[in-house]
Amino acid sequence: MNRKLTLLYIGVDLHKNHHTAIMMNCLHEKLGELKFENKPSAFPVFLKEVNKIAKKEGLTPVFGLEDVGGYGRGLAMYLIENKYEVKAVNPALTVSMRRSSPNNKKTDAWDAECVARILISNLDTLPDANPLDLYYAISQLVTRRANIVSVLTGLKLQLHQQLGYHYPSYKKFFSQVDGKTALAFWRKYPSPSCLKGVGVEKLAEFLRKKSNYCLSTKKAEEILSLVEQDGDTSKDYQEANDFLVKDVVRDIIIREHQLDQIDAELKKHLALLDYKLETMHGISTVTAAELIAEIGDISRFSNADKLANFAGIAPVQHSSGNKQKAKKSKLGNRSLYDIFYNLAIRMLGVSRGEKKPNHPMYHAYYEKKLAEGKTKWQAIICVMRKLVNVIYSMMKYKTEYKMPVLTEQAA
């Protein structure tokens, strides 16, 4: 007997306070609906009701959950610990299913039914849910880091805006406006009015200490000269404007310190997994953490094709009569898709000094696809797909990356 005929499909719509489950058989017949609280004490009662229906129908339960790392993590862990099969259903699939329905309704029960229907049709291709605590911790650290980076970007824009009012030539002061020495300068001298009475030697001594003796007299003379050329930029209520600059700088320093702490935590947790993704050019500790956070336990995917499909990188085949065409997939994990896209762009980049490709093999592969008639976008997708194979192999076997040697002809 076909295995699919023996299963009871339970799709669960997950929320912060409660979950909704719909049970169906392989014929898409609805066999029951359950609503229960999202807390460990409610899970045994829910499972008891599921088993009651499963026993009545003579079927074996299999669960489909959209969010096994957030609101559904507790339920997923409980079901897995009790030896039940749990599949992770990509939310994009649920949205697509809901939009394709003519009734266009949006309820918890209908969302759960969509998950169940996807579970029935895609059972063999959906990855197993595996919400291990280590991967969950890394995922949370990555999310927290992304939030801080977003805030930091906004703060730096504010700093540029404020400095533009006080120092029209501020971009010429330092190579990095938000560098360590620059931030110390803006905090000490938020406007030209704070530089009154400050001579070259005094400013040079300040710069010397803050830059670890990389900047001194020449830079001090240059800054004072630029300030003089800009003219008088003082405003009414200058103290309030100076406070704003100091406050923004203080926030930037705090956020950058937070990033350093998170990066240290990420490095410590990544070491426990013993992946060697950072040995590949273009993959930093942060990129490695982002990949691991989205992919999770690599054993969820039996091969690289499954991972590519999960990331939405595998093309979707469209055919009509004798016409066949592969189109870009709009489903899949879009965050993971973006990570592979950015990684591919890094690989295809060219170093500024020597004007050589960052990664000759991928650059040669990209040029080959262009020569075959692919568009630039299609060629990049091909590079992304090749990267999926490499990342999958590195994670599965925990191997280091070794740069292949290209022959002149291949290059």
118-126: average pLDDT: 91
More confident residue, 170 or 100: 170
Sequence ranges of the domains in the chain: 3-131, 136-270, 302-317+331-397
Name the 3-class secondary structure at 326. strand
Name the 3-class secondary structure at 60. strand
Say whether domain 136-270 belongs to CATH 1.10.287.
yes
Q: Is the pLDDT of residue 110 over 80?
A: yes
Return the pLDDT at 350: 86
Name the 3-class secondary structure at 25. coil
Per the CB < 8 A criterion, the answer to whether 220 and 203 are in contact is: yes
DSSP labels, 171-238: GGT-S-TTSHHHHHHHHH-SSGGGGTT--HHHHHHHHHHHTTTSS-HHHHHHHHHHHHHH-----TTH
Return the pLDDT at 67: 75
**317: confidence class by pLDDT, cuts 50, 70, 90:** low
Reference 369, options 356, 355, 383; nearest CA is 383
182, 183, 187, 188: CA torsion to nearest 10: -40
Report the C-alpha gap between 183 and 185 in whole angstroms.
5
Per the CB < 8 A criterion, the answer to whether 347 and 281 are in contact is: yes
Pairing of strands 18-24, 7-13: antiparallel
The first and second tokens of residue 296, run together, are: 């999770």
Give me the count of residues in the chain: 411
Per the CB < 8 A criterion, the answer to whether 92 and 116 are in contact is: no
Return the pLDDT at 322: 60
Per the CB < 8 A criterion, the answer to whether 42 and 36 are in contact is: yes
**125: confidence class by pLDDT, cuts 50, 70, 90:** confident
Q: Is the pLDDT of residue 408 over 60?
A: no
Q: Percent of the chain scored above 90 by pLDDT?
A: 72
Return the pLDDT at 323: 61
Separate counts of helices (H) and strands (E) for the chain: 14, 7
Report the C-alpha gap between 51 and 44 in whole angstroms.
10
Q: Is the pLDDT of residue 29 over 50?
A: yes
Say whether domain 3-131 belongs to CATH 3.30.420.10.
yes
Q: Percent of the chain scored above 70 by pLDDT?
A: 93
286-293: average pLDDT: 95
